[in-house]
Structure 1
Amino acid sequence: MDKELKKTLGFSAALSTVVGLVIGSGVFFKPQAIYTATNGAPGLGIMAWIIGGVITITAGLTAAEISAAIPKTGGMMVYIDEIYGPKLGFLTGWMQTVLFFPGTSAALAVIFAKQVVELFGSDSSNMAFVLPVAIGVILLLAILNNIGSSFGGSIQTIATIGKMLPLILIIIFGFIRGNSTSLFSPMVGPGTTTGSALGQVLIATLFAYDGWINVGAIAGEMKNPGTDLPKAIVGGLSIVMAVYLAINVAYLWVAPASDLAMATSPATLVATKLFGSIGGKIITVGILISVFGTLNGYLLTGPRIPYTLARQGLIPGSNALSKVNKGGSPSNALWLIAILACLYALSGQFNLLTDLTIFAVWVFYVLTFIGVIKLRKDKPDLYRPYKVPLYPIIPAIAIIGGLFVIINQLLTATMIALGGIIITLIGLPVYLVMKKDK
């Protein structure tokens, strides 16, 4: 239970947790979407990593106040429920169950499959090869996680090594062997405006920075969350931002932005230029281990949301979805996420799926940021072991940044945004029917 969590985490443990949670697959693959949006120009792409990092730091600092004040299992779904009521809380869990976790898992499986297909010398645009691998890796991890949760921990350790090794090697050798070029000029390519591309590149970078919402979950286990948590968030996300900037500068020093826009995996393209064909394949294997671990993380944590909703009797099939197997895994909830992920994977799209999920989840992130202000007014006497610094400036930056991304997506990628809204709102009649049945 939450109250029994031991306060054993110091600053260094919290810092490493932040870095480990955030660095995933986006840094290896999202430069393609970014430099496609800028029409092959580097400037706005580099700026997007900086702006996305600042938005993420303010977001993490803001949401951590709620995480520390409401230290309950369930994360954002519980925060929204406490602040706005059960209906909106349910919609948060519904969005995470039917869209965010399976959609992101599908995106990771698709990009994993494309890398595997390329590694063996085939065309990654051939869906006859890509889709079986994508669905296969989802089902494999679902089976392994059904055995028990201890396997997941081992995968995460190996994946951490897998993701850091390619990053370190590309950064070091990119700076040594690359040729310095202009990083900020031109901002965008011909026929593209900064205003029209900014929302797209921010959506891409925010996917790479995603994972920060889970940082606040460690507040209950920290010795001194009031001072150490904000330091860990700012420090950890600043390290992530520095790594992301360094790797993207290294990419651009080795290959022009126009080449990165054409590559499924910019990291593999750069690694091949730096280390040759064999070296490039070795780096690709490291990237695959990283993506495999990230996908495992989503399939490990995602089922806890439908499991929690099922325990409350709020979703169809609650009796089945609330069951736990002998290995301690919410088996049926896990299969729900896995099967939905397989269906999303049939699209064969990485960038489309991540744009869809990031748009949907950021709607609820913004509600969480606004909730910090609302909670201060509604419950001024609530015990807050940590308060967001520079209030209300930091929450305001997080809210404005989030709203810009949401509104820009509605205007420039309307069908994707509407798709996310419709899938989320389907939860309303489900909630009303289930409530009535209860």
Structure 2
Amino acid sequence: MNSSKKSQAPQPKLKRAIGVFSGSNILVGIMIGSGIFYIGSYVLQRSGMSMGLALMAWLLGGLITLLGSLCLAELGAMNPATGGIYIYLSDAYSPIVGYMFNFQSMIIGGPGSVAAIAIALPIAFRTLLPISDLWVKIIATSLIIIFTIINVLGVEVGKIVQNSFNVLKVLPLILIIILGIFWGRYIPNFTMNTRISTLSPVAIIKMVSFAIIASLWAYEGWTNLNTVAGEMKNPQKNLPRALLFSVGFTTIVYVLFNLAIYRTLSFGHIQSAINNGQLYLGTDVAKHFLGTSGNVLVAISMALAMISALNGMILAFARYYYAAAKDGLLWRVFAHVHPKFKTPDFSLWMQMLFSIILAWSRNLDQLTSLVVFSGAIFNMLTVLAVPLMRVRKPHVIRPYKVWGYPWTIIIATISFLIILSNNFFDDPVTSFIGLGIPLIGGIVYWIFKYYYHPINTN
């Protein structure tokens, strides 16, 4: 009798506790990380040291990200379920395609990103404190454990942490932007230099495209809000709003931050710093206005940026495990929801384990290269899922539709193809690994499909 009642007891469900502000903060926290302080140097280098082309690359990178987020907004409002891209690819193509994405997210995308941020945080403080490689690993491990516990305690706890750190993180950035733009003494030269002016239009487009790829790493993470759509209040309306606001806000911050650098530092200083490997130009801006205390301000801002990114990634990525297990394509325990905290606790613990393993076994370059390439493949497939779903399910209610359709789809697809082709020719080994991991996921899919029974989600 008692066992019968237990078997019929309803399973706890994820709690809807995320609104527009909290949802926007999750994405802003993930996107605005340590990259804001050094990616601008790479963008400027790849733009032929042209400030005008560099700012154009930041704007175009934000536009491409915005186009992708518009597609996610339509798919998310149409099907506001926890799981994000995994759900959309399964519906548009086949469950095996969705699972291949999910597998690379579980093995590389999620844990790799978490590990990279956790490692980058103590490294950022090496300018102030002597931190050995061993202690970098120890601190990174501690951070992963602490923020996993925070997110196991409930999405509301994780949300509060995310909101608090984002507000504290953005304030120093805004200070640097205001000081640089309004009190900087240099007028940026937006005209093309002599070397660039001699290039053909095709060569210039190729150069700017290469710079956009660097900027897109700074925007990485824009797909992650959809993974928690099942925990959003009124997701049909709030999901598109949060996506548009967060990507738009991030683009503005990136462009203004780099403009503040150009206003504060002379071109000669910028060129010399980059040539000498000093990529953190934001530090020089802070030191220019605030003296030696500027170093401390930048270090604090970087720490807050990376902590909020780390928390947002841990919150979002664990939902991939949960969604796959709900479909019977992982062991049932991955779909377990904590009876008190209403969070996918086992998925969070396993993500923590994989992240720690990667933090101890790989370096930052190896982690980020795999994440970018494999992510671009599935981002492009997600964009193409919008027209596919309109053809396959024309009568499904769409509370939000992509603006500028079909040009939005065409431009975004071409952009992702450029990213993939550049990475493939520049780093074929990483590209083949990025392709191989999803293919292994396809094999794992068939194993679960034929040897394990799907769990009952009713």
Mapped to 2, the partners of 1:344 and 1:257 lie a distance apart of 35
Q: 1:46 aligns with which of 49, 52, 55?
A: 55
Mapped to 2, the partners of 1:26 and 1:360 lie a distance apart of 20
Q: 1:161 aligns with which of 161, 167, 187?
A: 167
Structure 1 pair 331/188, CA: closer, same or farther in 2 (3 Å)? farther
Q: Which segment drifts farther, 285-294 or 338-347?
A: 338-347
Q: 2:282 aligns with which of 267, 272, 276?
A: 267
Mapped to 2, the partners of 1:229 and 1:305 lie a distance apart of 18
Counterpart in the other structure of 2:455: none
Counterpart in the other structure of 2:256: 246
Q: 1:70 aligns with which of 43, 65, 79?
A: 79
Query: TM-score normalized by structure 1?
Result: 0.85
> Does 2:327 correspond to 1:312?
yes
Larger Rg, first or second structure (1 or 2): 2
Aligned residues of 1:110 and 1:131 also touching (Cα < 8 A): yes
Counterpart in the other structure of 2:110: 101
Aligned residues of 1:43 and 1:186 also touching (Cα < 8 A): no
Mapped to 2, the partners of 1:322 and 1:231 lie a distance apart of 29
Q: 2:438 aligns with which of 412, 424, 429?
A: 424
Counterpart in the other structure of 2:312: 297
Give the deviation of 1:198 after TM superposition.
Answer: 4.5
Root mean square deviation of aligned Cα: 3.5
**Identity fraction in percent:** 28
Give the deviation of 1:410 after TM superposition.
Answer: 1.0
Structure 2: gaps spanning 5 or more residues: 1-11, 453-458
Mapped to 2, the partners of 1:237 and 1:129 lie a distance apart of 35
Aligned residues of 1:58 and 1:394 also touching (Cα < 8 A): yes
Structure 1 pair 375/257, CA: closer, same or farther in 2 (3 Å)? farther
Aligned residues of 2:423 and 2:431 also touching (Cα < 8 A): yes
Q: 2:299 aligns with which of 262, 284, 293?
A: 284
1:133 is matched by which residue type in structure 2?
I
Q: 2:90 aligns with which of 74, 81, 101?
A: 81
Q: 2:119 aligns with which of 107, 110, 132?
A: 110
Q: 2:212 aligns with which of 186, 202, 222?
A: 202
Aligned residues of 1:199 and 1:408 also touching (Cα < 8 A): no
Structure 1 pair 331/384, CA: closer, same or farther in 2 (3 Å)? closer
Mapped to 2, the partners of 1:44 and 1:409 lie a distance apart of 21
Structure 1 pair 13/4, CA: closer, same or farther in 2 (3 Å)? closer
Q: Which segment drifts farther, 327-336 or 284-293?
A: 327-336
2:220 is matched by which residue type in structure 1?
D
Q: How many residues align?
A: 428
Structure 1 pair 88/230, CA: closer, same or farther in 2 (3 Å)? closer
Give the deviation of 1:222 after TM superposition.
Answer: 4.9
Counterpart in the other structure of 2:336: 323
Residues 273-304 of structure 1: CA distance to partner in whole angstroms, max 9, x if unpaired? 33122232023112201211110111122112
Structure 1: gaps spanning 5 or more residues: none
Q: 1:375 aligns with which of 389, 395, 409?
A: 389
Mapped to 2, the partners of 1:263 and 1:135 lie a distance apart of 28
Query: TM-score normalized by structure 2?
Result: 0.81
Q: Which segment drifts farther, 127-136 or 88-97?
A: 127-136
Structure 1 pair 54/144, CA: closer, same or farther in 2 (3 Å)? closer
1:181 is matched by which residue type in structure 2?
P
Mapped to 2, the partners of 1:229 and 1:333 lie a distance apart of 23
What is the 5 A alignment of 1:178-197? 178-183=185-190, 185-186=192-193
